[in-house]
């Protein structure tokens, strides 16, 4: 049997999604909890791996098992074995044609910026703090030059292992809610650090350090060394993976994301 799960987590305490021998990971904790309930070894595959300190709201995973368990066991039961900063939100049995990564048609992230003079103690580790007033309208306008199928080499980490930098950016929206500035970004796939590198460049524009057309110029130059520094991981959330309706997976509203 193949099961899909919806998972949310706070990434602050983990070295990222991917299981690693030398540190604590979200994948490792989830597999340990699932294996306890199944009483056999379970390996999970996710829609999109997240880096150290990055959070997940709508992460989707799948796993195979020959153990028969009710749906509640894969949700409430697994949650009893997980730390409080990782939770399974839903479970759904799927056919063997479903793959959390390869069946995903698109993925959406949100980068959350807390934009006021003083940082917040309560939001520490959950948002990126920016003291300088940002012009969200200029950031939004600048980001529209990145839409469509483009080569994102200028926003690609040096250690990225993808064969090329071409991706299709389907949505980029910058909006303000009081002291919170949201960068919502959706694409068919992402190269390593793409969202955080775009966020860093747009914040540079939002502070008035670069003109609005700087983002488009960077894209055309295909040179990562010319772009602004990578934005910190703590502001980034994996929001949602998009799948064909035929899989009948639960869909949580994007607007439910905190902050």
> Are 114 and 228 in the same domain?
yes
Q: Which of 68, 103, 138 is the last residue of a domain?
A: 103
> Are 96 and 110 in the same domain?
no
> Are 112 and 77 in the same domain?
no
> Are 54 and 121 in the same domain?
no
> Are 88 and 147 in the same domain?
no
- Assess if residue 114 is contained within a domain: yes
pLDDT at 206 over 80: yes
The answer to whether 78 and 34 have CB atoms below 8 angstroms apart is: yes
Give the domain range for residue 213.
106-238
The answer to whether 29 and 85 have CB atoms below 8 angstroms apart is: no
Confidence of residue 226 (pLDDT cuts 50, 70, 90): confident
3-state secondary structure of 128: strand
The answer to whether 26 and 14 have CB atoms below 8 angstroms apart is: yes
- Assess if residue 258 is contained within a domain: no
- Assess if residue 249 is contained within a domain: no
For residue 107, the cross-strand partners are: 187, 241
- Assess if residue 251 is contained within a domain: no
CATH of the domain at 84: 3.30.70.580
> Are 156 and 121 in the same domain?
yes
* Distance separating alpha carbons of residues 91 and 75, to the nearest angstrom: 6
> Are 48 and 154 in the same domain?
no
Average pLDDT of the residues in 159-164: 66
Q: Which of 52, 74, 103 is the last residue of a domain?
A: 103
> Are 215 and 180 in the same domain?
yes
pLDDT recorded at residue 163? 67
* Distance separating alpha carbons of residues 189 and 167, to the nearest angstrom: 6
* Distance separating alpha carbons of residues 166 and 150, to the nearest angstrom: 5
Instruction: List the beta strands (DSSP E) in the chain.
Output: 2-9, 45-46, 55-64, 86-94, 106-114, 128-129, 148-151, 166-177, 180-187, 236-242
For the chain, the average pLDDT equals: 93
Q: Which of 51, 81, 103 is the last residue of a domain?
A: 103
| Residue carrying the six token digits 């940002």 | 134
Residue 135 annotated as catalytic:
no
Burial string for 49-67 (b: 16+ CB within 10 Å, else e) reads bbbbbbbbbbbbbbbebee
- Assess if residue 255 is contained within a domain: no
Q: Which of 51, 85, 95, 179 is catalytic?
A: 51
* Distance separating alpha carbons of residues 58 and 241, to the nearest angstrom: 7
CATH of the domain at 148: 3.30.70.660
> Are 131 and 200 in the same domain?
yes
- Assess if residue 245 is contained within a domain: no
Burial string for 120-137 (b: 16+ CB within 10 Å, else e) reads eeebeebbbbbeeebbbe
> Are 119 and 156 in the same domain?
yes
> Are 110 and 203 in the same domain?
yes
Q: Among residues of the chain, what percentage have pLDDT more than 90?
A: 85
pLDDT recorded at residue 157? 73
- Assess if residue 42 is contained within a domain: yes
Q: Which residues, 6 or more positions from 140, have their beta carbon under 8 angstroms from its beta carbon?
A: 172, 173, 174, 175
Question: What is the tens place of the pLDDT at every residue in 33-63?
Answer: 999 999 999 999 999 999 999 999 999 999 9
- Residue 109 assigned as binding residue: yes
- Number of domains present in the structure of the chain: 2
> Are 124 and 59 in the same domain?
no
């Amino acid at each position: 049997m193949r099961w899909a799960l919806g998972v949310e987590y706070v990434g602050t305490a983990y070295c990222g999604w991917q299981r690693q021998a030398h540190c604590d990971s979200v994948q490792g904790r989830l597999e340990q909890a699932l294996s306890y309930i199944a009483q056999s070894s379970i390996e999970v595959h996710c829609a999109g791996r997240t880096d150290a300190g990055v959070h997940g709201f709508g992460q989707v995973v799948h796993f195979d098992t020959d153990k028969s368990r009710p749906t509640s066991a894969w949700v409430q039961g697994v949650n009893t074995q997980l730390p409080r900063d990782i939770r399974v939100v839903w479970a759904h049995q799927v056919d063997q044609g479903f793959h959390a990564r390869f069946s995903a048609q698109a993925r959406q992230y949100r980068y959350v910026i807390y934009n006021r003079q003083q940082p917040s103690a309560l939001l520490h580790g959950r948002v990126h703090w920016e003291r300088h007033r940002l012009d969200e309208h200029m950031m939004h306008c600048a980001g529209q030059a990145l839409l469509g199928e483009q080569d994102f080499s200028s926003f690609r980490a040096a250690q990225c292992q993808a064969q090329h930098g071409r991706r299709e950016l389907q949505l980029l929206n910058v909006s303000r809610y009081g002291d919170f500035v949201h960068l919502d970004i959706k694409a068919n796939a992402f190269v390593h650090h793409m969202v955080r590198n775009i966020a860093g460049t747009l914040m540079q524009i939002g502070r008035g350090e670069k003109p609005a057309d700087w983002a488009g110029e960077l894209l055309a130059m295909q040179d990562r060394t010319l772009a602004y520094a990578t934005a910190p991981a703590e502001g980034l959330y994996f929001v949602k993976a998009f799948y064909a309706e035929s899989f009948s997976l639960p869909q949580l509203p994007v607007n439910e994301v905190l902050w």
